[in-house]
């Protein structure tokens, strides 16, 4: 593995982790804690952005693979929080909040797939 790839992932990861902390804190300080909306927000946003980036990289194949790695693996890998989503869903189930748990799982699963597709289609439509 090239040192440039490692630097791209590490620096993108620092950016994504910081963005996750800021977005999560912002959302959680303003929205009731019925569901872990901060996690949902970063997962939906990250999914939308990954759709946009994959479309952009599809349209601009000449871009550096290090740039792609910086954004996809580094930034979005640290921004989205699947492991946090998993443990929060587990805690909702464990505490007997089954409806909230399944709503959280459905919103994260289907919402992130939908947002990834929306980001991809949106950028492709805007560039035609």
CA atoms within 13 A on the CB side of 7: 5
Q: Report the distance separating Cα 44 and Cα 49, nearest Å.
A: 9
Tell me, what's the pLDDT at 57? Answer: 94
pLDDT digits (tens, 9 = 90+) for 70-124: 999 999 999 998 888 998 999 999 999 999 999 999 999 999 999 999 999 999 9
**Domain layout of the chain by residue ranges:** 3-126
Tell me, what's the pLDDT at 81? Answer: 82
Residue 66 corresponds to which tokens in the numbers above?
Answer: 């290090």
- The predicted model gives 33-37 an average pLDDT of 91
Q: Report the distance separating Cα 96 and Cα 126, nearest Å.
A: 45
Q: Report the distance separating Cα 82 and Cα 27, nearest Å.
A: 17
pTM for the predicted model, two decimal places:
0.86
């Amino acid at each position: 593995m090239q040192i440039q790839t490692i630097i791209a992932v590490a620096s993108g990861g620092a950016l994504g982790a910081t963005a996750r902390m800021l977005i999560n804190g912002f959302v959680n300080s303003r929205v009731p804690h019925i569901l872990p909306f901060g996690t949902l927000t970063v997962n939906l946003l990250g999914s939308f952005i990954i759709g946009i980036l994959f479309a952009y990289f599809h349209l601009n194949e000449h871009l550096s693979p290090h740039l792609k790695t910086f954004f996809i693996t580094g930034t979005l890998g640290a921004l989205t929080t699947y492991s946090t989503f998993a443990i929060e869903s587990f805690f909702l189930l464990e505490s007997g909040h089954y409806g909230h748990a399944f709503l959280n799982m459905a919103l994260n699963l289907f919402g992130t797939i939908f947002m990834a597709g929306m980001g991809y289609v949106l950028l492709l439509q805007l560039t035609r």
